[in-house]
Copies of this chain bind each other. A is one copy, B any other.
Amino acid sequence: MVTATRMTAEDRRADVLRAAVREFAKAGYYGTSTEDVARAAGISQPYLFRLFPTKKTLFIELVQHGFGRVRAAFVTAVGDLSGEDAMHAMGEAYGDLLRDRDQLMLQMHFYAACEDAEIAEVVRREFGRLWREVVRLSGADDDGMQHFFAIGMLMNVIASMDATSHSSEWVKACVPPAWLTLGEA
Contact = CB atoms under 8 A, between A and B. Distances in A.
A174 B162 contact: no
Nearest to A117: B162
A33 to B, nearest CB: 10
Interface in A69-89: none
A153 interface: yes
A128 B27 contact: no
Interface residues of A, number: 47
A123 to B, nearest CB: 5
A120 B183 CA distance: 14
A142 B30 contact: no
A108 interface: yes
